[in-house]
Amino acid sequence: MRSRIVALLLLTLTACGTGGNGAGPSLDPITVEEFDALLAASTQPMVVNLWASWCIPCRSEAPLLRQAHALLGDDVVFLGIAVEDAPSNSVAFIEEFELAFENRSDQSGSIRGHLGGIGMPVTVFVRPGGEILRTHFGVIDDAALALGIDDLLAEA
Number of domains the chain contains: 1
DSSP state at residue 107: T
Query: What CATH number does the domain containing 61 carry?
Result: 3.40.30.10
Average pLDDT across the chain, whole number: 87
pLDDT band at 108 (very low <50, low <70, confident <90, very high): very high
Residue type for position 119: G
Enclosing domain of residue 48: 2-16+25-155
Among candidate residues 70, 82, 69, 74, the one with its CA nearest the CA of residue 35: 82
CB count, 10 Å around CB of 59? 17
pLDDT, average across residues 63-76: 96
